[in-house]
Amino acid sequence: IASRVAVPIQVAGGVDGPDQIRLAFAAGATRAVMTMAVVDQPDVIRESVAVAGDWLAIGLDPRPERLAAFPWRREAIPTLAQLVVELAGVGVRRVVLAHGGGTPDADLLASLVRAYDVEVLVAGGVPDLDGIRRLRDAGVSGVILGETLLSGAIDFPAAVEAAA
């Protein structure tokens, strides 16, 4: 795919360490997203940052029920803000927050963007152009649109304009 298109390619899913990132980059990917499962492995994250630098993102599911249900390797369930602080502390500069169809909390996102030196991207939960504008105004760096683009609910040129 990378050899046939002139757009950046992001790889996510199954990326759980520096070896997978090297493979993805060798195949033409320009960004790699590691799963929330690596959050409790700071050494793996540091090694991955050494390979990918700013082209690495960590995917998080910010929904409280998902954070509560995740099999953490620690006693207390972390908050989203705590996770962002930890990730920034090991060199991560970009997080992708997957909302699983739920509407992103623009106020929460704005507070994360203001408080931490991390780019925030949002995946899912953006049903219309107003949602893109709200996220833009909150300081979100990017929005990953899937179903809304494929279904025609959002027109791509209009989405780009709304994000500007």
Closest CA to 117 of 142, 141, 143: 141
**What is the distance between the alpha carbons of residues 102 and 83, in angstroms, rounded to a whole number?**
20
How much is the pLDDT for 11?
A: 93
How much is the pLDDT for 103?
A: 84
108-132 pLDDT, tens digit each: 999 999 999 899 999 988 989 999 9
How much is the pLDDT for 69?
A: 87
**Per-10-residue mean pLDDT, the chain, length 164:** 85 93 94 93 97 96 86 90 94 91 87 92 92 95 90 93 94
How much is the pLDDT for 146?
A: 86
How much is the pLDDT for 66?
A: 87
* SS3 (DSSP) at 104: coil
Q: Taking the domains of the chain in order of start, what are their residue ranges?
A: 10-163
Structure tokens at 38: 């690596």
Write down the CATH superfamily of domain 10-163. Answer: Aldolase class I (3.20.20.70)
Taking CA atoms, 68 is separated from 12, 62, 72, 75, 79, in Å, by 23, 10, 9, 12, 9
